[in-house]
Amino acid sequence: MSISGIHLKGVGVRLGDTDVLQDVSLDLDARTVAVIGENGSGKSTFARLIGGLLPRTSGEMGILGIDPARRAAELRRRIAIVFSNPDAQIIMPTVAEDVAFSLRADRLRPAELEERVSAAMERFGLTELAERPSHDLSGGQKQMLALCGAFVRNPELVIADEPTAYLDARNARRVADHLFEDTGHRLVLVTHDLALAARCDQAVLFAGGRLVALGEPDEIIARYEAVLAC
C-alpha cells in the first residue's frame, strides 16, 4: 500500500439503516481520478469518506498514508474539499478575508499571510474583487473563491464533488482548468460531466453503493454509457 495514494479494503458506510457504500476495495495512485455513476450510486458518500467527513463502518483505509479514523486533523490539514455549492464554504465577509481564513491554522506572519493571499487571489482572478463582500459575488466568482481558499493551503489532495454543476460553460472550463493544472496535488473529481471525467488519468464507476469498475477513463466511461443506454 503506497503512502501517497488512496487505498480502501472492504470499506462499508452505513447511514441510518442504509448501507450506502458496501465492500469497496481500491488502490488509486493516479494523479487525477474521476468518480462517475448514476444519481444515488454513492459518489458523494465516497468523496466525503476519503475526505474524512464521514466515518466508515467496516474495512480499512489509508488516504495519503493516513487512516482518517485515527488522524483526522492531520488529513484535514493536507487535503482540500470543493463542493458544487460554494456558499457552504464561504465564511468571511470579504473575498480577501475569506482567502486568509483558509490559512488561519498556519499562524503566518502578517506580511507572509498577505503575500500568500495576494498571490492566490491573482492566480484565481480575484484581485479586483478583494474587498468585495463575498456573498455578493456571482455563482462563478464564488466558486473561484472557494477554489482559491482550497488551493492557497497547497493541499496534497483536492477532492471536488461536482464543482462545475451550477456553472456556465466558460466558468466550468475555468474551474476545471484550475483543478487539472499540475500544482503537485492529486485530484479526485466526482462528476456527471463525462468530457471532464475523460480528462482524468484514472476513473472509477459506482453503482448501487458498490465499486463496479476501475481503469482507463475511456473504457470506464464507455461501460457507464452502455448502462445509461439501457
Ligand X SMILES: Nc1ncnc2c1ncn2[C@@H]1O[C@H](COP(=O)(O)OP(=O)(O)OP(=O)(O)O)[C@@H](O)[C@H]1O
Least separation in angstroms between CB 38 and ligand X: 7
Least separation in angstroms between CB 21 and ligand X: 8
Residue type, 169: A
Residue type, 13: V
Query: 12 or 98, CB closer to ligand X?
Result: 12
Task: Give CA–CA dist 48/17, Å, rounded.
Answer: 18
Query: 42 or 62, CB closer to ligand X?
Result: 42
Query: 44 or 134, CB closer to ligand X?
Result: 44
Q: Are 50 and 1 in contact (CB under 8 A)?
A: no
Task: Check residue 228 for interaction with ligand X (CB under 6 A).
Answer: no
214 DSSP assignment:
E
Least separation in angstroms between CB 67 and ligand X: 21
Least separation in angstroms between CB 95 and ligand X: 28
C-alpha closest to that of 77 among 59, 87, 63 = 63
Q: Please report, for residues 68, 164, 194, 199, the alpha-carbon distance to residue 170 in angstroms, rounded to integers and kept in the order given.
A: 36, 10, 17, 17
CB atoms closer than 10 angstroms to residue 222: 11
Least separation in angstroms between CB 218 and ligand X: 21
Is 151 in a helix, a strand, or coil? Answer: helix
Total residues in contact with ligand X, by rule CB under 6 A: 12
Query: 83 or 124, CB closer to ligand X?
Result: 83
Least separation in angstroms between CB 16 and ligand X: 4
Residues 7-46 as x/- pattern, contact with ligand X by CB under 6 A: --------xx-x-x----------------x-xxxxxxx-
Extract the runs of DSSP E, i.e. beta strands, from 29-165. 32-37, 58-63, 79-82, 157-161
Task: Work out the burial of residue 163: count CB atoms within 10 Å of its CB; fewer than 13 is exposed, 13-18 middle, 19 or more buried.
Answer: buried
Query: 40 or 215, CB closer to ligand X?
Result: 40
Query: 20 or 179, CB closer to ligand X?
Result: 20
What does the binding site for ligand X look like in residue numbers (CB under 6 A)?
Answer: 15-16, 18, 20, 37, 39-45
